Structure 1
């Protein structure tokens, strides 16, 4: 999937069936980097949220360090500033700002900051039906993933 502007391609993305067009923005973007490119990763996360006009709801930014056997996961979302007394008559309402809303570190088999929660309504753009709900990756899920990752990439 290439961004509708044609300027950026995510490492991976998800768009619900309600956005069937190839040139529609995804609701979830995954960006990854190896080693010490954290600044590039943050810039990528911000780019998706700043340029999608609110269409991209969540960016998951993952940094992998082989030397330390470390995963650093950040969840980014547009966050509206609190209403600091802005009245309805006042038209200069602050715009949502790309904000890191969660941070998870996995070093070896030690996970801090879990669980990772991906809200159903943000991904699917609708309320959950029977048997549907948020995607929650708990500590065990994250440990299992990283254990398998390191095992199969050695």
Structure 2
């Protein structure tokens, strides 16, 4: 579910809920000081036609999604293009579904369960969806991860950026999710060390996991002797596809690739000591993760 805010010569507060195309056309509900406008969304063109019928200079439209109705990335792109042509500016705020929430919560919790089993839970803090302010952008440029966390006491917790960020997507495209990668690394001044993407693909009933880290960009040999921020680039280190086989009895899950490996040094900002090492989500762990997530499908 997403909230779309538009500054234009349009309407005051408008709430829109997505309905299948076979329902009634886009329409505007009653308006008074206590009852904001309501728009039922069917198509982009109908949405803008309804907007143009209302007075005012600010519009907020809420588009809901559920397991039977998905607002596709192309629809969002079409709204933006149409808004640009009509000289309207849009801001999108995602309101997640149960499936979206489970995609990142179950993955993050699998990592934290290992922290607990290893007795290191007191050296890590979960930051959740805390808003992070981009470095050097006091007036804006904020971001929220779906699940985030970092080591303690290695950072000033009053101005903390997570070391680990998990981003999930259901209606969003994988390409759209990847656009957030560079922001997390650069806006944090490279304090974010590791970003995991979890994307649900309904056509294959699959979950795609991607692990992103930063590496020195391709420069002349010997040019990179320190972690120079200007020379770092996000690099896709691992891709894992987990597919559900609903024809099997019981339902089974196939993991294409290997275990998911989270490097200790990136998570805790130091080399592992005696008895410490990378965190590994095994193939069995990933199968269990997919089973827990896809029950919300």
SS of the aligned residue for 1:98 comes to strand
2:285 to 124, 138, 141: 141
* CA deviation string 1:120-148 (max 9, x = no partner): 11101122234322111121110111112
Does the alignment pair 1:110 with 2:254?
yes
- 1:6-25 to structure 2, matched below 5 A, reads 7-17=142-152, 18-25=154-161
Deviates more, 1:137-146 or 1:15-24: 15-24
Counterpart for residue 99 of structure 1: 235
Tell me how far apart the structure 1 counterparts of residues 229 and 188 of structure 2 sit (CA, whole Å): 19
Q: Unaligned stretches of 5+ in structure 2?
A: 1-129, 135-140, 245-252
Query: How does the TM-score come out when normalised to structure 1?
Result: 0.85
Counterpart-to-counterpart distance in 1, 2:271 and 2:289: 28
Q: CA deviation at 1:35?
A: 3.9
Q: Structure 1: how far apart are the matches of 2:273 and 2:232?
A: 28
> Is contact 2:189–2:229 with CA below 8 Å preserved after alignment?
no
- Structure showing greater Rg: 2
TM-score (norm 2): 0.46
Q: 1:94 to 1:10 in 2, by over 3 A?
A: closer
The count of residues paired between Structure 1 and Structure 2 equals: 150
Pick aligned residue for 1:41 from 177, 181, 193: 177
Aligned: 1:56 with 2:192: yes
CA distance in 2: counterparts of 1:105 and 1:121, whole angstroms = 25
- The structure whose RCO (Cα within 8 Å, separation 6+) is larger is 1
CA gap of 1:122–1:85, structure 2 versus 1, over 3 A, is closer
Counterpart of 2:133 in structure 1 is 4
Unaligned 5+ runs, structure 1: none
Q: Which has the higher helix share?
A: 2
Backbone CA RMSD of aligned residues? 2.3
